[in-house]
A and B are shown apart, each in its own frame.
Chain A
Amino acid sequence: MKTFFYAFFAVLAAFTTFSAGETAGQIINKANLASYYQGNDGRASVSMVITDSQGRERTREFIILRMDVEDGKDQKFYVYFHEPADVRKMVYMVWKHVGKDDDRWLYLPAMDLVNRIAAGDKRSSFAGSNFVYEDVSGRGVEEDIHELTDTTDKHYKIRNTPKDKQTVEFSYYDVWIDRSNFLPVKAEYYDKQGDKYRTVEALEIETIQGHPTVIKSKVTDLNTGGNTVSNFSDIKYEVGLKDDIFTERYLKRAPRQYLK
């Protein structure tokens, strides 16, 4: 069981596609399994520091709960905000589906309002940070063509090119996957002008309950000079989350025992 935190690296994990040759496909598959589909559930406290080009910082603190519906397929996420204080108790809920659009919900405590978020593209910002929604819930593997472009002592380098260029802002991205544990440790995104504009890095890795886990990661926007650093703490696997937590009913009534 690996962590859903790799959800942040789902893009890098670059799941299954075998169309780009066996070797790339095998690596992607292993990285995918190593980072995404082991175990049944998990929880973590996430602290995000968003730093803009002028060094101004904003913070986000939230608890993230994850449960797999079926290994290698659907997953459910529950994101509960603690900070900033004025959005406390706000909840995002995602039912991630492989092969079709995700279901997403949003609960706004100030208006006591539950909204469904329509399936749009997934390249929009996650909570104003430099992470995009797709970094959280995972980029559909079938959306890219994968090629193994380099193999070093430590890493595999995979180039991922989107099949539908109009729905994304990048033209391709490179991912470095650690050969020892198949964790993606770095990704670099290139824009349509061919310039590198975004990097995602795993800064610290720790083994928790036997699983190598990214506990600190960073996204840098090379255009704006801004970045977001995420720190994960209180990580637990096999929490025994119940399916009914991930329902509309629990948006307004947060499952306190998992969120403290």
Chain B
Amino acid sequence: MKEAITGFAIKYYKAIIIITFLLTLILGLQIPKIKIDTDPENMLSEREFVRVFHNETKKNFTLYDFIILGIVNEENPNGVFNKETLSKIYNITEDIKQIELKSGGQETTRPVIIRDIISPSNVDNIKEGSSAGEIRFEWLMSKPPMSEEESLAIRDEAIDNPMLYGTMISEDKKALCLYIPIKNKNLSHATSLQIFEIVRKYPGAEKYHITGLPVAEDTFGFEMFRQMAISAPLAGLIIFLLMWSFFRKVKLVIAPMLVAIITVISTMGLLIGSGFTVHIMSSMIPIFLMPIAVVDSVHILSEFFDRYNIYKDKKKTITHVMNHLFMPMLYTSLTTTAGFASLALTPIPPVQIFGLFVAAGVMLAWALTVLFIPAYTMLIKDKSLENFGLHHGEEGKTVLTGILRNTGDFTWKRSKSIIAASIILTGLSIYGLSLIKINDNPVKWFTKGHRIRIADEVLNSHFGGTYTAYLILDKEDTGESFTTNIRRLKEKIEAEKTDASPQNIDTLLSYIDKEKDAFIKEKNYDYTEFTENIIGKSEELSSDDEYPDNVTETIEDENIDSRIFKNPAMLKYMEKLQNYMAGSKTVGKSTSAADLVKKVYMELMGGNREYYVIPPTTKAVAQSLFQFQNGHKPDDLWHLLIPDYKTANIWVQMKSGDNKDMEKVLKQVDSFIESNPPPFPLNHQWAGLTYLNVEWQNKMVRGMITSLLGSFIIVLIMMIFLFRSPLWGVLSMIPLSITILLIYGLIGLTGKDYDMPVAVLSSLTLGLSVDFAIHFLERARTFYAENQSVEKTLKAMFGEPARAISRNAIVIAIGFLPLLAAPLIPYKTVGFFLASIMAVSSLATIVLLPALIKTFAKYLFKPAGIRRYECNCVKCIISVSAGILIITCFALDNPVLKWKLLTLISAGVILTAGVICNMLSKREAGKPETEKE
């Protein structure tokens, strides 16, 4: 078949080239339709519970994502609280209200939710008035201050307001933060640029910082795409230059470049043409596909270069080269495809799309390599290949060849030490793996000096925290509490019974019983709704003059009490929970209706600090909250409460957006609620971007581990098939295993976080690091078949095959080194990984594999000629374990294939089959012919 394909490519080379370019053109034309998606929230499926809940929370509490503008003045002893700075802040706020963004064509939108801006001139202040018993509702800074005294008065008011202290005004009382809510977080980068423009108009001693997760995430998305436009071409250029220096013929070196470019353009075109948005993940497709697309062509070029002078004919040379490389190339492509396609099993939509399209790209690159490259070589005139290639006798002269020959000698002499060193290294790596810290923080995707990182550090040192999470407490209506409440209600009504008209009360009580049954039948345990219903009945009955006056009021009181977030006990519980959270290092501040009630109550009671407490009765709470609603922004209350007072939101501000810190807070709150039962049955659930990040990260990490294990086993099975030998299959997995262990072990040892980019790169590591081993072992077997000598085979391996591997490793590793200079951490990570994958897997292939082959030669190579009829137990055992492993790892924690009875049964069946097979093989009849004699 391989001859046929190469023959076809050579025969119809013109047609192939034309069709390739046409297809590329058609797909390339799809690219302008690109729809970019920079929202990490899309890492979760739209139907994912936490995401649905997050969006419901935002809607129910009218919460918006916000940009944080911090203003710091280090020169003034009072910080920003001076006439000039506050005037600037006043004007900046006015300018921010005016921001308009052009959205496609002439249309403009206002991204800012003006009424919800938190800024001194846009927040309300309630406080005691100038005379006793007087209260005052007013804007904190209705106009720019005229004097230093006024500035300090504004500061003191802000400090006195628990809603503002630690949020708008810093804990050191010197800095201010404006919270600028925006309609859609996808507008945050564009809006933040406008804010930068605005603050530039107000220079001076003030330093302005802009941060917040929405800005970080949106800006990251923007820069990610920009970086792609720089990095991919730059890497391409360097790869080109390196290949040029190796092979010295521009015309030939262009071929792999064309394969890479065509692959990238076609894959992206296909992705965009299929209607998918290009997520941050997918924006990395070119940088992943380029090295993969180039690798095979470099193998071809390398061998073409080394062989050309033997045949002196491009057609014969390419036919020979393709013949040699066809199977290894097919398998390296298949394994890489498997590695990426397995990403489709992760529960994260953008990762699935990314994995599938990279997989498609890899197969496209393979098709191009076997068809386009031979066709392309036909275009080159033999004449122009004069002086090309490695001349006879020149082999020993190049530096690379020399080094490789010495390496060959070394592996032959020191095979045992190499194996021992590898074992030690593996042990060390496994120790490193155990140290791995799973953590992520989108702000840390920027390098240290990036303005967002700086803003993050400065503002989190001054304020309660720029990372937001919402803790939602929701009253749980249980059947048990429902019946208890009704029993109490009936007792209270019974007590109102007078001799004058007992039948009215009896009517009401029997009505209550009837309604109770109706509610319970429908499993509706909503006591608020129930009492509302009863109030109606009571009012109806009260038309009778004899009806006791207080009955309706009694039921009303019950109704009021059922709205638990007006209940002092509940508010005190929230207060306690908040104090507890404040004890953690991460939570800088939290705000709830409890804080608001305390503030209003204190001011109503004359501003006396001793009244900074939860009011004693439900009605006192209700009336305090009612007073709050007489301010300029009554709706601010509904950011903290749902109007039925049965669901509350605690706005939690955190100093760190690290997922591990958020997770710690989650655990602390869980354990608090468990050991401190709330006064009413409650459900609690988190929302907010910081929390969402934790959720998708966990899914990602778990998904990646599953897909990595799964594809590892698939690749192993493929290798067993390729080499038709389990032993060779296992051997080919060794460089790959060592590479993965070493790289991830190193990440554990150095303490670098296992984050999103690191997780995604595991599939690339798997896909790429098996390649060299396949080439190496395939060639080794071919050589051995020719010369029947282990020593000769290994010596030959350090000629042309080792050169191809080294050239490849050098081209890819160096080609992607510039990524290390990128301002985005994920790019640095990709650069680091590609260099490590190439270095480790090529070394493991060139150094460790020969040592292993030498040591285990007698198991690996069977004397030729004797066809043995045998039952191969090793094959059985490996197949059985692989079968069980694959079922286990896909079933474990995988959303698509959950543990089912059938999974267990099939695992059992495989195991039993293995055992029976083993037993059968031990029978006399099953023994190999050779042993029987």
Contact = CB atoms under 8 A, between A and B. Distances in A.
Interface string A51-95: 011101010000000000000000000000000111100100000
Interface string B817-833: 00000000000000000
A13 to B, nearest CB: 23
A121 interface: yes
A166 to B, nearest CB: 5
B433 interface: no
A180 interface: no
Nearest to B633: A125
Interface stretch (B26-34, B136-144, B694-702): B136-144
Interface string A103-138: 000101111011111101101111111000100000
Interface in B105-163: 110, 114-115, 124, 129-131, 133-139, 142-143
A128 B633 CA distance: 8
A90 B630 CA distance: 13
A127 B60 contact: no
A118 B60 CA distance: 33
B536 interface: no
Contacts of B630: 124-128, 133
Contact of B115 (A108, A133, A223): A223
A125 B25 CA distance: 62
A167 interface: yes
A226 B135 CA distance: 28
A16 to B, nearest CB: 26
Chain A contact-residue range equals 35 or more
Given A124-B630, A166-B143, A117 B560 contact: no
Nearest to A193: B98
Of A53, A109, A116, A133, most buried by chain B (CB within 10 Å of CB) is A116
Contacts of A193: 97-98, 110, 114
A126 B631 CA distance: 8
A193 B130 CA distance: 35
The main secondary structure of chain A at its interface with chain B is loop
Nearest to A164: B143
Contacts of B619: 86-87, 109-110
A124 B137 contact: yes
A143 B818 CA distance: 66
A156 to B, nearest CB: 31
B466 interface: no
A43 to B, nearest CB: 22
B129 A118 contact: yes
Interface in B585-627: 604-605, 615, 617-620, 622-623, 626-627
A110 B622 contact: yes
A224 interface: yes
Interface string B9-41: 000000000000000000000000000000000
B823 to A, nearest CB: 36
A113 B620 CA distance: 11
A121 B142 contact: yes
B626 A127 contact: yes
Given A58-B643, A115-B134, A224 B115 contact: yes
B626 A114 contact: no
B635 A224 contact: yes
A178 B901 CA distance: 78
Given A113-B605, A118-B130, A124 B631 contact: yes
A192 interface: yes
B629 interface: yes
Contacts of B566: 86
B45 to A, nearest CB: 25
B573 interface: no
Contacts of B130: 118
B643 A56 contact: yes
A113 B638 CA distance: 26
A54 B62 CA distance: 9
Residue among A53, A106, A124, A126 with max Cβ neighbours from chain B (10 Å): A124
A85 B137 contact: no
B107 to A, nearest CB: 14
Contact of A87 (B110, B137, B623, B637): B623
A90 B135 contact: no
Contacts of B135: 106, 115-118
B623 A121 contact: no
A53 B634 CA distance: 14
Interface string B201-220: 00000000000000000000
A54 B59 contact: yes
B620 to A, nearest CB: 4
Given A85-B559, A86-B566, A167-B142, A118 B631 contact: no
Given A87-B623, A120-B138, A223-B115, A125 B634 contact: yes
Interface in B632-655: 632-635, 637-638, 642-643
A126 B604 CA distance: 17
A118 B129 CA distance: 6
Contact of B622 (A86, A129, A166): A86
A223 B618 CA distance: 33
B632 A125 contact: yes
B623 A110 contact: yes
Contacts of B142: 121, 166-167
A133 B633 CA distance: 13
A121 B59 contact: no
A109 B623 contact: yes
A38 B441 CA distance: 67
A233 B560 CA distance: 26
Name the residue in A84, A106, A120 with the highest tally of chain B Cβ atoms < 10 Å from its Cβ.
A120
Contacts of B626: 84, 87, 90, 127-128
B556 interface: yes
Interface string B536-573: 00000000000000000100100110000010000000
A124 B97 CA distance: 20
Contacts of A223: 114-115
A128 B139 contact: no
A196 to B, nearest CB: 13
A85 B560 contact: yes
Most chain A CB atoms below 10 A, which of B60, B62, B627: B627
Q: Among the interface residues B137, B615, B617, which one has the most CB atoms of the partner chain A within 10 A?
A: B137
B636 to A, nearest CB: 10
B114 A108 contact: no
B133 A111 contact: no
A220 B85 CA distance: 36
A84 B129 contact: no
B134 A111 contact: no
B141 to A, nearest CB: 11
Contacts of A52: 635, 638, 643
User: Which 4 residue pairs are nearest across A and B when measured between Cβ atoms?
Assistant: A128-B629, A86-B622, A118-B129, A110-B619
Given A118-B129, A118-B136, A224-B62, 18 more contacts: A52-B635, A84-B622, A84-B626, A106-B135, A106-B627, A108-B604, A108-B620, A110-B619, A110-B623, A113-B604, A113-B605, A121-B139, A124-B632, A125-B629, A125-B634, A128-B626, A128-B630, A128-B634
Interface of A: 52-54, 56, 58, 84-87, 90, 106, 108-111, 113-118, 120-121, 123-129, 133, 166-167, 191-193, 223-224, 226
